[in-house]
Structure 1
């Protein structure tokens, strides 16, 4: 079934101004201007972020929607896909965010606007633990793009988490997937269901 609604979830300290989010938005505008596209700015609180997302997609048709998530957004995308049974593309997804972000409690500047600051609270770690959706019910609904060269996350943990899914395991690469537009965009959109 053709894609009608597409959600993009950015990573920690990121925003809808991230390179990959803007690339996907531009592609959608060119190829499917009538597609319902949403890339919200996620609040630092994981509980609030997921509440915002689930409220925003409450009326979306589950069978013709898809979600793309990068890094922490990949964790959130997995939560969305497990809740809705939609297709999901995860790009170097965070697999153990409660463990990994425990080192990042404190004040941070946003990547794309250093004048914007937020505080990552200790309670957010418990919120991440509470959100963990558990084992994937249907790995065939997932496509994971994972770079062995990711300098932030461990590719072995990512591939183990998405075992049974379609996985594009890159020999090199980086956490940002700097070659996203040239090397991965079309595969991502094809899997999401956006016909050429």
Structure 2
């Protein structure tokens, strides 16, 4: 039975993001049996969540782990708690419905060249997706770099209190030298090096 990692990208990103590309390069060397799926989530929260949920449900009973970065970390948290699957969270967004409020209005995704309008309805949809509580915190691995210029890492530390964590001083939102933590992520997701 093959194992699958579902990678969920961040806001205004895409399957062509740097982290997704790096994972595509590294995974065959670390664990050739893993299938990496990086869906195009789009900007609509309900659509993004549904796309990822459909992929999880299609693999019910198979080894599956989630990796989510930034806004994708928010989605991965919600999906992990709903479907009881492990998730590694890279500089995850906490309360994105507050964080993205300043971005309401016209947006452009540089990866996909998509132009769209971010609305208050999108913020309400994000808030509705947030788990009431972390019912299975043991399913989450938190990876933070304190130099994140986009998100305050302390917000994630407070929200994910009690969750296994890997906190590195410095770095940035992209998460510098991600390759150092990939083996730890795979081990947490139950897909250690082979």
Q: What TM-score comes out, normalization by structure 1 length?
A: 0.91
2:66: which partner in 1? 67
Instruction: Give how far 1:134 is off.
Output: 2.2
Instruction: Give how far 1:133 is off.
Output: 0.9
3-state DSSP of counterpart to 1:164: coil
1:190 aligns with 2:187: yes
Q: 57-66 or 161-170, which moves further after superposition?
A: 57-66
Q: 2: CA distance between counterparts of 1:3 and 1:93?
A: 27
1:112 aligns with 2:111: yes
3-state DSSP of counterpart to 2:76: helix
2:147: which partner in 1? 149
**Which aligned pairs between 1:113-192 and structure 2 lie closer than 5 A?**
113=112, 115-181=113-179, 183-192=180-189
3-state DSSP of counterpart to 1:58: helix
From the superposition, tell whether residues 21 and 29 of structure 1 become closer, same or farther in structure 2 (CA, over 3 Å). Answer: same
> For structure 2, which runs of at least 5 residues remain unmatched after alignment?
none
Q: 1: CA distance between counterparts of 2:79 and 2:122?
A: 18
Instruction: Give how far 1:31 is off.
Output: 3.8
Instruction: Give how far 1:56 is off.
Output: 2.1
8 Å contact from structure 1 (residues 3, 193) kept in 2: no
Q: What TM-score comes out, normalization by structure 2 length?
A: 0.92
2:49: which partner in 1? 50
Deviations 1:39-78 (A, max 9, x none): 1011211011111111222121357211000000000000
RMSD: 1.8
> For structure 1, which runs of at least 5 residues remain unmatched after alignment?
none
